Structure 1
Amino acid sequence: MTSTRPPARPARSASTLGPVTQVRPATEGWTQKKDAEGRPLLQFASPKRGKPPVHLADLTPDERVEKVKELGMPGFRAKQLEKHYFEHYTHDPALMTDLPSAGREELVHGMLPALLTEVRRLQTDKGDTIKFLWKLHDGALVESVLMRYPGRITLCVSSQAGCGMNCPFCATGQAGLTRNMSAAEIIEQVVRANRLIREGGLGPAEHPDERVTNIVFMGMGEPLANYARLMQAVRVMTDKKHGLGMSARGVTVSTVGLVPAIHKLAAEDIPVTFALSLHAPDDELRDELIPVNSRWKVDEALDAARGYFDRTGRRVSIEYALIKDMNDHPWRADLLAEKLNARGRGWVHVNPIPLNPTPGSIWTSSTKAAQNEFVRRLNDAGIPTTLRDTRGKEIDGACGQLVATEEDERVAAATPLED
């Protein structure tokens, strides 16, 4: 169908960009879950399942001391356990020789129970990208992706098993929400990645204390729908005395636009990087593309994002998956720039991301010409814009591709849980 909205300024040429067509979002190969009124179903509450065992990373420092005492040891042992877990990346009692041998195993298993079982590990980008498939205590499957870049190492972590936001272009959301992950299950992804780095799994280290420097909550799940556990995990990541000691500026929390939770995040006084997955500047398209837009519209989400900048001083990222003939039109770049500039200058950066192409599908990446024109228009309007590199698409580890396949489930079923 032909777009009815005229471009705010002319495209460079029809021969370069082709005819202006409008593809509508539609599911392919699966049936989108709908509510009683026929709207895409949104799952905010986690389904009831058995809770994972309580772990040191689920507790505050004071709660850790009390738990150690309950297990029959002096409270100062909590600090020793923190050091083993957050600095040496281990939960193996045999390596904790500074703990008394009598009662050591009971203490360690009580404070550092096994949370993740590695099911599969896939590598690409000459070994610089690794995707992990993890099995949780109840059999739920999640994935995380480790990526080495010059001067930094980024880990894309999951915050939920599955996702309840039901976006039609995202593989993770097709199966719905299995459950929220605990704070410790989130942290364990980082600890296991750090252990692999220390053991040389990403190749020769650039320096002796090499570890994950950047976290992006862009794996499975909507992070702000698991708010309390997300924030506990972030506090542990950034705690210099009792946690991983990471920089809050190296932690990126993304959302499809849960506006009340964005306001809560701004009030936390933890200067994480905030990313809004927008993908369309107009409500007409975004209602179909991002079902949560039926609750909180584009302008509400952008107002909340601007509020985050006002409260924290941290520049906001706008994530925008460029999809051929769906959301990559020049007039949409102009509308996006107009909406962002209406809220001031210097507060935002746009990251267009070429959608991972699927041959023959309506869900495919924009042409290079369309990508370049989209970026050019934003930059010309004074919006800092950088086309983002996609990593891991060869192993289904890129944005929107994280989902457990039938083969994953078969392998997982045959993999015993770690002790």
Structure 2
Amino acid sequence: MTHLYNMTLAEMEQWLADMGEPKYRAKQIFQWLYQHRVTSFDEMTNLPKALRERLSAEAKLGTAREITRQVSRVDGTVKFLLGWTDDVTVETVLMRHDYGNSVCVSTQVGCKMGCTFCASTLGGMIRQMTAGEMVEQLLYSQRLLDESGERVSSIVLMGSGEPMDNYDAAMKFIDIVNDPNGLNIGQRHITISTVGLVPGIRRLADDGRPITLAVSLHAATDEQRSAMMPVNKAYPIAKLLEACHYYHEKTGKRISFEYALIGGKNDSLEDARRLAELLRDLPSHVNLIPVNYVPERNYQRTPKEEIQAFLTELRNLGVNATVRREMGHDISAACGQLRAEHAGTV
């Protein structure tokens, strides 16, 4: 059956035309899906009954089911664990900020990148998410926000998985949620996070999309980074930064660098100085992230006073940096952690 959430408006128009239906019906269906957020074809009341019956027979709306939901008592962060008919699970997170509501979307079931500080990699890579499955993740958060008259204001492709390893589906997802006939979430309010897949960064630069690029750096030397992130062996820091410079030159946008502070590993003042030197000529912002505890990894969290010293050193050296506000730290906040717990691998 055809999965409607997996279609752009243009694809839906062509699909209906192939069925012998007028193309304008596509816009009506699209608006029912994303502006009214209906959950059945019967609710699409401006469609002929015969078309609704045909849609019920030949197409499907959501295929995901909610397995569990965790709500932070600290800051209202909501974490959904969703399941699909092939028994895979992914998680998506709704974060409430002073400036709006952000949703973190998973692009893959599991991950093959092998970063040692991340729970997403514990079960390996299972399969790619389709664009429609990413849309479904977003809609779970939006429907919850509908209860209080709010909306999703920004999206981060930073849940389980590596978006650049599922590039076409990720970009299709962005096209669907960006459509003014649908959710109308501007591309400038969408961030794509990568461990540093250089071909993907260059492709994104050439595509000219005004989305924000976030790069997981986490170390300032190849020795350190390769020990934590196997991808560095294929795309070492010099190649990665070359691609980042290319991205900035093509788009004019500064790049966000994620840097997880791990006690005794990458959190010394000398590490801060090396990081500042790497980014000296690149318009960027550094997000310092106190590492989440994952039992298998046994990484130690950098003490608060040392985090502040690292931040101060970066700023003194001219680096635009902040410490990321922790969200939902009481509800399995690390990417992939809730899924891993459900699967029994944590």
Q: Does TM, normalized by the shorter one, top 0.5? A: yes
Question: Greater strand percent: which structure?
Answer: 2
Q: Is the 8 A contact 2:5 2:62 kept in 1?
A: no
TM-fit CA distance, 1:400: 5.8
Q: Is the 8 A contact 1:85 1:191 kept in 2?
A: no
Q: Is the 8 A contact 2:101 2:151 kept in 1?
A: yes
CA distance in structure 2 between the partners assigned to 1:274 and 1:218 by the alignment: 11
CA distance in structure 2 between the partners assigned to 1:190 and 1:323 by the alignment: 31
Cα distance change on mapping 1:54 and 1:308 into 2, 3 Å: farther
Cα distance change on mapping 1:361 and 1:404 into 2, 3 Å: closer
Task: Name the residue aligned to 2:308.
Answer: 372
- Taking structure 2 as the reference length, the TM-score comes to 0.94
Give 3-state SS (helix, strand or coil) of 2:160's partner: coil
Q: Which aligned runs of 4 or more in structure 1 are off by greater than 6 angstroms?
A: none
Cα distance change on mapping 1:371 and 1:265 into 2, 3 Å: same
What is the percent sequence identity of the aligned residues?
A: 39
Task: Name the residue aligned to 1:91.
Answer: 39
Q: Is the 8 A contact 1:57 1:233 kept in 2?
A: no
Letter in 1 for 2:11: E
Q: Is the 8 A contact 1:168 1:174 kept in 2?
A: no
Give 3-state SS (helix, strand or coil) of 1:67's partner: helix
Q: Which has the larger radius of gyration?
A: 1
Task: Name the residue aligned to 1:401.
Answer: 337
- Consecutive unaligned residues in structure 1, runs of 5 or more: 1-52, 410-419
Question: Greater helix percent: which structure?
Answer: 2
Which of the residues 148, 159, 178 maps onto 1:238?
Answer: 178
Q: Is the 8 A contact 2:81 2:91 kept in 1?
A: yes
Q: Is the 8 A contact 2:74 2:328 kept in 1?
A: no
Task: Name the residue aligned to 1:151.
Answer: 99
TM-fit CA distance, 1:269: 1.5
Confirm or deny that 1:181 pairs with 2:129.
yes
CA distance in structure 1 between the partners assigned to 2:244 and 2:230 by the alignment: 18
- Consecutive unaligned residues in structure 2, runs of 5 or more: none
Task: Name the residue aligned to 1:212.
Answer: 152
Task: Name the residue aligned to 2:166.
Answer: 226
TM-fit CA distance, 1:127: 6.3
Cα distance change on mapping 1:62 and 1:357 into 2, 3 Å: closer
Which of the residues 218, 224, 247 maps onto 1:308?
Answer: 247
TM-fit CA distance, 1:233: 0.7
Task: Name the residue aligned to 2:87.
Answer: 139
How do residues 1-16 of structure 1 correspond to structure 2 at under 5 angstroms? none
- State the superposition RMSD in angstroms: 2.0
Q: Is the 8 A contact 1:322 1:354 kept in 2?
A: yes
CA distance in structure 2 between the partners assigned to 1:116 and 1:408 by the alignment: 21
TM-fit CA distance, 1:149: 1.1
Task: Name the residue aligned to 2:27.
Answer: 79
Letter in 1 for 2:339: V
Q: Is the 8 A contact 2:113 2:231 kept in 1?
A: yes
Residue deviations 1:93-148, cap 9 Å, x none? Answer: 22211111224143156444322111111101456211001002311100000011
CA distance in structure 2 between the partners assigned to 1:386 and 1:125 by the alignment: 24
Letter in 2 for 1:335: R
Which of the residues 256, 272, 275 maps onto 1:333?
Answer: 272
Paired residues, what number? 345
Letter in 2 for 1:353: I
Task: Name the residue aligned to 2:226.
Answer: 287
CA distance in structure 1 between the partners assigned to 2:319 and 2:338 by the alignment: 30
Task: Name the residue aligned to 2:113.
Answer: 165
Confirm or deny that 1:117 pairs with 2:65.
yes
Confirm or deny that 1:271 pairs with 2:207.
no
CA distance in structure 2 between the partners assigned to 1:263 and 1:249 by the alignment: 18
